[in-house]
C-alpha cells in the first residue's frame, strides 16, 4: 500500500486551516512524547509526515532518532537537538498553514485588534497572499514561542503552540489525493482528529507486569532450589544416573581386562560396583549445599587471651534487634541501609559466613563479594589477626599468625572467622546517620531512596555518602529470612 505523504498533499493543493490543525497537532504531540523520553527525531519535514488510512498525520523517518540518556546521565547536547526539532516543526507549520487565514484566524493571531496596519498583525487581509511570506505572517506565534523555548522550558512551548493552533481553526478531516471530501470510511468523528493520543500507561503496565513475572520466577526458583526436598531430589537423580551408567562402565572395564588376558570374576565386578556407588554417595552427601558458608576449622583457632579486646565491636541488644527488624521488615530503603553497613563489616573482617546474612544465595552480589574476600590481601584487612590476638609485639598470637606486627599469616592458614554482627539500626547508637552529617563528623551522610518496588523485589538508590565508594543503586529481593542484596549497580566500595 502506497502511503500519502504531506509533501504529496502540498504538491497537489494547499490545505485548509482546519486541515492544517489536523496535521500539525498530532506531530507536535509526538515530538512532545519523544522529548519526554529524552530522545530527538532529527528529521522533521513534509517528507517524513504521512497519512494513515483514517487520514491522521503520523510522523515517520526515525533513522536519525537519537536517545540522549545513558543510565542516569543526560547528554549535554539534548537541549540543542530538542530545540532543533521544535525549529523544524515551526518550519513545517509555515509550509502547511495557508497564507489567507480569514477573519477568524486573523483575529486570533493579532489578539483581536483589527486594523493594526499590518497583514497578519491584527488586520484582515483583503485577499489571499501567496508565497512563503504569507505563511510567515500566518504563524507569528510559532516564532515567538520558539524564541521563548530557546531561553525557557519545553512545556510552555508545547502547551502554547497547541492552544494557538486550536485557536487558528476548527480541525477538519484531511481530504487525501484520490479521495472525495464526503468519504468517511474510518468511522471517526467529523473532525478527523483523534485527541486520545497514545496510551503510554497501558504499555508501561505491560512492561512492569513482565518484569514482575520475571522477578517472581527467579525468586521462586531460588527458594525452591534451597529447600531440602529439592536438594534431595537432585541427589536422588544424580545417584540414579550413576547407577544407570554403572553396568555399561563395568562391562567396558571387563572387556578391557579380558583383552589384556586376565579373567575377571563376578564377585570382583560386584565389589567394584558397590565401592563406586558408595564413593559417589559419600561424595554427594559430604559436598556442601549451594549457598552454604565455607567450612572453617573453628577448633584449630587459638583461644583469645582474656585481656584482649574483641576485634569487632558488639552492638547493643536494642540496636541489633532493631536492625534485624529493618532487614526483615517491609521498608526496602531502611533494609538497604542496614544491609550495606553489615556488608561493610563483613568485607572488612573478610568473613564469608557474615556475608550469608547480606547477599542472596547464587546471586551476582554473592559472587562479587566472595571474590573480593578471597582476593584481598590479608595485610590490607583490619581483621587479619585472630579474634583476641594481642596487638603488642611479643604477645601470644593465633596458630599460623606471624609474631611480628604487620606481618601477614603464613601460607596455608585460613583467615580467622569473625562473628557477624548485625548493623545498628538507623537512629540507634553507633548507626550511620541518615540525615545530614554534622560539620566535622566524618564521611558525608547516606540516604536511601526507593526507586521502584515490584513484587518481592525492590530497586533502592544510594544518595550521598561518597558516591565513589558506595553503590549507586541496589537490587533487593525479599525471601523467608528478609531482604537480601541480589546485585549492585554503579560500582561498589
- Report yes or no on 312 lying in a domain: no
Cell of 306: 582474656
Residue 445: is its pLDDT beyond 60?
A: yes
74 phi/psi in degrees, rounded to 5: -100, 130
Could you say which of 149, 182, 215 is where a domain stops? 182
Q: How confident is the model at residue 39 (pLDDT cuts 50, 70, 90)?
A: very high
- Given a contact cutoff of 8 angstroms between Cβ atoms, the answer to whether 470 and 443 are in contact is no
Q: Does residue 208 come out as left (phi exceeding 0), alpha (psi in the -120 to 50 range) or beta?
A: alpha
User: 423 in a domain, yes or no?
Assistant: yes
C-alpha distance across the termini of the chain, in Å: 58
Co-location of 216 and 93 in the same domain:
no
Q: Does some domain include residue 70? A: yes
Nearest to 99 by CA among 144, 140, 137: 137
Write down the mean pLDDT value for the chain.
69
Report the pLDDT averaged over residues 63-83: 87
Query: Which range scores top for mean pLDDT: 99-108, 128-137, 142-151, 477-486?
Result: 477-486
| Residue range(s) defining the domain that contains residue 345 | 326-380+416-433+442-493
Q: What is the domain-level CATH number for residue 487?
A: 3.10.450
Q: Are residues 235 and 279 in the same domain?
A: yes
Are residues 204 and 178 part of one domain? no
Q: Which three cell numbers stand for residue 17?
A: 486551516
Which pLDDT band holds residue 471 (cuts at 50, 70, 90)?
low
pLDDT of the residue at 465: 58
- Cell digits of residue 138: 500566518
Q: What is the pLDDT of residue 260?
A: 55
CATH number at residue 146: 1.10.510.10
Together in a domain, 176 and 205: no
The residue among 256, 287, 318 that closes a domain is 287
The dihedrals phi and psi of 380, each to the nearest 5 degrees, come to: -95, 0
Q: What is the pLDDT of residues 327-378, one digit of tens each?
A: 888 888 888 888 888 888 888 888 888 888 888 888 888 898 888 888 876 5
In whole angstroms, give the CA distance from residue 247 to residue 244.
7
The rounded distance, in Å, linking the Cα atoms of 421 and 320 is 8
Lowest mean pLDDT among 36-40, 182-186, 268-272: 182-186
State the pairing for strand pair 473-479/457-464. antiparallel
**Residue 468 falls inside a structural domain:** yes
Last residue of a domain, one of 240, 272, 287: 287
Does 164 or 446 have the greater pLDDT score? 164
Position 50 pLDDT exceeds 80: yes
pLDDT in tens, 366-423: 898 888 888 876 544 443 433 333 333 333 333 333 333 343 444 444 444 444 444 4
The answer on 212 and 144 residing in a single domain is no
| Residues 122-130: contacts with CB under 8 Å, at least 24 apart | 125/100, 125/101, 127/100, 128/98, 128/99, 128/100, 129/99, 129/100, 130/99
Looking at the 3D structure of the chain, how many domains does it have?
Answer: 3
* Per-residue confidence band for 438, with pLDDT thresholds at 50, 70 and 90: very low
Whether residue 122 is contained in a domain is answered as no
Which pLDDT value is given to residue 41? 92
Helices (H) and strands (E) in the chain, counts: 14, 11
Q: Indicate whether 333 belongs to any domain.
A: yes
| pLDDT band with cut points at 50, 70 and 90 for residue 439 | very low
In a shared domain, residues 171 and 227: no
Quick one: 87 and 171 in the same domain? yes
Does residue 225 surpass a pLDDT of 60?
A: yes
Q: What is the pLDDT of residue 266?
A: 72
Q: Is residue 149 part of a domain?
A: yes
User: Do 167 and 216 fall within a single domain?
Assistant: no
Structure confidence at residue 444 as a pLDDT band (50, 70, 90): low
Instruction: Verify that 14 and 73 share a domain, yes or no.
Output: yes
Task: Give the residue-averaged pLDDT of 166-188.
Answer: 68
Q: Are residues 336 and 484 in the same domain?
A: yes
Sorted by sequence, the CB contacts under 8 Å of residue 115 that are 6+ apart come out as 122, 123
Q: Are residues 228 and 280 in the same domain?
A: yes
Q: Determine, yes or no, domain membership for 316.
A: no
Whether 298 has a pLDDT exceeding 90, the answer reads no
Q: Is the pLDDT reported for residue 425 higher than 50?
A: no
Q: Indicate if 162 and 24 belong to the same structural domain.
A: yes
Q: Is 13 within 8 Å of 181 (Cβ atoms)?
A: no
Question: What percent of the chain has a predicted confidence (pLDDT) above 70?
Answer: 59
Cell 574483641 maps to which residue? 310
| Residue 300: DSSP 8-state | G
Amino acid at each position: 500500500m502506497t502511503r500519502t505523504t504531506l509533501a504529496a498533499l502540498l504538491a497537489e493543493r494547499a490545505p485548509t486551516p482546519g486541515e492544517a490543525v489536523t496535521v500539525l497537532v498530532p506531530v507536535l504531540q509526538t515530538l512532545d512524547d519523544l522529548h519526554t523520553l529524552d530522545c530527538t527525531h532529527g528529521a522533521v519535514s513534509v517528507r517524513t509526515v504521512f497519512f494513515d488510512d483514517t487520514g491522521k498525520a503520523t510522523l515517520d523517518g526515525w533513522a536519525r532518532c537519537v536517545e540522549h540518556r545513558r543510565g542516569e546521565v543526560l547528554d549535554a547536547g539534548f537541549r540543542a537537538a530538542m530545540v532543533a526539532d521544535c525549529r523544524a516543526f515551526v518550519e513545517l507549520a509555515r509550509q502547511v498553514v495557508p497564507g489567507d487565514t480569514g477573519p477568524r484566524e486573523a483575529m486570533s493571531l493579532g489578539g483581536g485588534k483589527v486594523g493594526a496596519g499590518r497583514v497578519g498583525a491584527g488586520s484582515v487581509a483583503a485577499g489571499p497572499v501567496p508565497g512563503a511570506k504569507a505563511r510567515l505572517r500566518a504563524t507569528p506565534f510559532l516564532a515567538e514561542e520558539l524564541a521563548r523555548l530557546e531561553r525557557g522550558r519545553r512545556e510552555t512551548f508545547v502547551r502554547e503552540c497547541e492552544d494557538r493552533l486550536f485557536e487558528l481553526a476548527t480541525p477538519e478531516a484531511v481530504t487525501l489525493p484520490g479521495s472525495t471530501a464526503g468519504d468517511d470510511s474510518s468511522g471517526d468523528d467529523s473532525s478527523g482528529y483523534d485527541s486520545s493520543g497514545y496510551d503510554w500507561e497501558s504499555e508501561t503496565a505491560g512492561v512492569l507486569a513482565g518484569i514482575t513475572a520475571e522477578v517472581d520466577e527467579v525468586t521462586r526458583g531460588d527458594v525452591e532450589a534451597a529447600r531440602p526436598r529439592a536438594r534431595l531430589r537432585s541427589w536422588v537423580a544424580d545417584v540414579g544416573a550413576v547407577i544407570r551408567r554403572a553396568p555399561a562402565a563395568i562391562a567396558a572395564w571387563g572387556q578391557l581386562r579380558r583383552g589384556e588376558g586376565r579373567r575377571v570374576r563376578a564377585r570382583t565386578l560386584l565389589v567394584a560396583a558397590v565401592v563406586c556407588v558408595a564413593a559417589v554417595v559419600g561424595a554427594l552427601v559430604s559436598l556442601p549445599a549451594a549457598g552454604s558458608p565455607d567450612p572453617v576449622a573453628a577448633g584449630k583457632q587459638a583461644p583469645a587471651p582474656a585481656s584482649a579486646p574483641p576485634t569487632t565491636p558488639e552492638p547493643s541488644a536494642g540496636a541489633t534487634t532493631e536492625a534485624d527488624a529493618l532487614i526483615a521488615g517491609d521498608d526496602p530503603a531502611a533494609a538497604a541501609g542496614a544491609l550495606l553497613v553489615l556488608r561493610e563489616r563483613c568485607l572488612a573482617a573478610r568473613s564469608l559466613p557474615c556475608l550469608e546474612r547480606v547477599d542472596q544465595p547464587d546471586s551476582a552480589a554473592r559472587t562479587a563479594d566472595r571474590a573480593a574476600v578471597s582476593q584481598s590481601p590479608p595485610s590490607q584487612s583490619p581483621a587479619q589477626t585472630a579474634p583476641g590476638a594481642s596487638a603488642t609485639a611479643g604477645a601470644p598470637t593465633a596458630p599460623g599468625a606471624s609474631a611480628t606486627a604487620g606481618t601477614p599469616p603464613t601460607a596455608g592458614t585460613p583467615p580467622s572467622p569473625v562473628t557477624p554482627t548485625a548493623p545498628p539500626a538507623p537512629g540507634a547508637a553507633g548507626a550511620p546517620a541518615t540525615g545530614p552529617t554534622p560539620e566535622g563528623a566524618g564521611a558525608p551522610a547516606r540516604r536511601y531512596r526507593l526507586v521502584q518496588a515490584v513484587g518481592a523485589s525492590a530497586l533502592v538508590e544510594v544518595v550521598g555518602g561518597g558516591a565513589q565508594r558506595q553503590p549507586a543503586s541496589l537490587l533487593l529481593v525479599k525471601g523467608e529470612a528478609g531482604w537480601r542484596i541480589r546485585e549492585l549497580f554503579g560500582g561498589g566500595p
